[in-house]
């Protein structure tokens, strides 16, 4: 009887262990979104100061720019097959052609990452270049065809 019971118990334990692993999920060193809600005005000033002292960020601060916001944001990184994320203050800077986000580590007083997203104005097509397809349930548009002018001698 013991010969049949031991494999059954081992199988049951393996199944339970497998189910536990599936249900538990993976936990990293992620900061829960509700742990850090908002930056104080002093923390925002410190983040802006740290960002503006960074050599790379300084290049974006030449010419016209606007600091849109300073808030917590999640920075996700991966290295060596390992992924992790952390919530850091991010200084969002708007330039004419891009939005720059400088992630700041206030404890180490340094910029840990810079992201740049280019922006552009929407392209507005002139009326003569717009589609001439028939709209659903509508009539086909008529396009006047220019007639060549001929001059008589």
Q: Which domains does the chain have, with CATH numbers?
A: 30-118 (3.10.450)
What is the distance of C-alpha 80 from the center of its chain?
Answer: 22
Is the predicted pLDDT of residue 138 greater than 90, yes or no? Answer: no
Q: How many CB atoms lie within 10 A of CB 71?
A: 16
Q: Which of 95, 80, 94, 86 is nearest to 113 (CA)?
A: 86
What was the pLDDT predicted at 8?
74
Is the predicted pLDDT of residue 18 greater than 90, yes or no? Answer: no
What was the pLDDT predicted at 54?
95
What was the pLDDT predicted at 31?
46
Burial class of residue 47 in the structure, from the number of CB atoms within 10 Å of its CB (0-12 exposed, 13-18 middle, 19+ buried): buried
pLDDT class of 2 with cuts at 50, 70, 90: low
**What are 26-57's pLDDT values in tens digits?**
555 444 444 557 899 999 999 999 999 999 99
Average pLDDT for 77-81: 86
pLDDT class of 130 with cuts at 50, 70, 90: low
Q: In whole angstroms, what is the distance from residue 93 CA to residue 100 CA? A: 5
pLDDT class of 6 with cuts at 50, 70, 90: confident
pTM: 0.57
Is the predicted pLDDT of residue 99 greater than 70, yes or no? Answer: yes
Per cent of the chain over pLDDT 70 is: 65
């Amino acid at each position: 009887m013991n010969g049949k019971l031991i494999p059954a118990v081992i199988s049951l334990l393996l199944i339970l262990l497998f189910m536990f692993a599936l249900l538990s999920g993976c936990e990293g060193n992620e900061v829960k979104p509700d742990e850090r809600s908002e930056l104080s005005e002093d923390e925002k000033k410190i983040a802006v100061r740290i960002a503006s002292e960074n050599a790379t960020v300084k290049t974006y601060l030449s010419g016209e720019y606007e600091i849109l916001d300073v808030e917590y944001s999640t920075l996700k990184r991966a290295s060596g097959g390992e992924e992790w994320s952390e919530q850091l203050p991010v200084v969002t800077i708007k330039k004419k052609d891009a939005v720059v986000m400088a992630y700041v580590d206030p404890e180490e007083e340094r910029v840990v990452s810079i992201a740049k997203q280019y922006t552009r104005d929407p392209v507005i097509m002139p009326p003569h270049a717009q589609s001439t397809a028939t709209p659903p349930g509508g009539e086909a548009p008529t396009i006047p065809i220019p007639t060549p002018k001929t001059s008589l001698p």
